[in-house]
Amino acid sequence: MNAITRKILSLCLVLAPACASAGVVVNYNPDATAGEAAFLAFLNGPTVVENFDSLGGATVDDNTFQGSWESHAASYSTNAGTFTLVTAGQGGSNKHNNHLMIESAETGEYGREVLSDYQGDLWLDSNDARKVSWTFDNPQTFGMNAFGFFLADAADISAKLTLIFDDGNYSDTYTINPYTQSGSMGYVSVISSMAIAGATLTFDNSTGNDGWGIDDITIGTVSEPGSVLLLTLGLLSLGVARRRIKAEK
C-alpha cells in the first residue's frame, strides 16, 4: 500500500460521516477508459446495461449529419430508464428538432462517432437539445445505487453542459465547460448512498447549438465501504477542482 493510498484511506475514515451525509457525487473523467475501469471495479453483484443497439428503426441517410438517423422520438424507454427531450435546441436545418436521435457511425453526428466501435453500434444523441431528462424507472434497477456511461462531444462549441442528479433527498451537479475538443469522450459516474429508484439525471445545455451523445450505460451497486470511499474521492476531487479554479483566476 503506497503513501497516497494510505492517505486516502485515512481520509475516508475521517470524512466518512460527511460522505454519508453528502449522499451522492456526480463525476466526469475526461479519460474515458480509465473512468470506466475505475467505476466498474467498485461494482458488486448483477448489473443492468444499455447500449441502445436495439433502438434503431428504418435508417434514413441522405449523406448529411442533419438529414441522417437510425431512429428519432421525443422519448425512449430503455433498460436504463426513460430519456425525454424536455427543451429543444436549434431549429433551421436541424430536422426533428423536438426529438432525440438514435445514431450510428453510418449516419454520423458531428464528432459523436467516437462512441461507435462496431457495425451496428448505436448511441443516444441529444440532437442539440437544450435539456434532456433521464428518469430511473426500470424496476430492475430500483435497488441499485450507482451508474456510469460514456459521454461524447459535450461542450466543444459554446455550451456548458451541466449534469444534475436528484433523487428527492440528495442532489449533486457537475458542469463540463467549453471548449473541449470536438469528438472528445469522457466517462460519467454517479454514486449514491441511496437507491436510484425514481431519481433523475438532467442534461442541461447552456446553448442550443452544441450536442452530445451517450452510450454503454452500466447500472449496479456499490456496497459499503466502497460507496464511502467513492464519495470521499468525489469530495476530494471537487476540492482539487475548486483550488485549480481559484489558482487560474
Contact by Cβ (8 Å): 130, 88: yes
Residue where the block lists cell 464511502:
228
First to last CA, the chain: 36
pTM (global) more than 0.75: yes
Residue 226: what are its φ and ψ, rounded to 5°?
A: -60, -40
In angstroms, the CA 13 to CA 233 distance is: 12
Instruction: Specify the pLDDT at position 5.
Output: 40
Q: Which residues pair with 124 in a beta bridge?
A: 102, 214
Torsion from C-alpha of 15, 18, 22, 25, nearest 10 degrees: -10
pLDDT digits (tens, 9 = 90+) for 82-118: 999 999 987 666 788 999 999 999 887 778 999 999 9
Over residues 173-223, the pLDDT tens digits come to 999 988 788 889 999 999 998 999 999 999 999 987 889 999 999 999 998
Q: Given pLDDT bands bounded at 50, 70 and 90, which one contains residue 62?
A: confident
Q: Is 131 helix (H, G, I), strand (E, B) or coil?
A: strand
- The CATH classification number of 26-248 equals 2.60.120
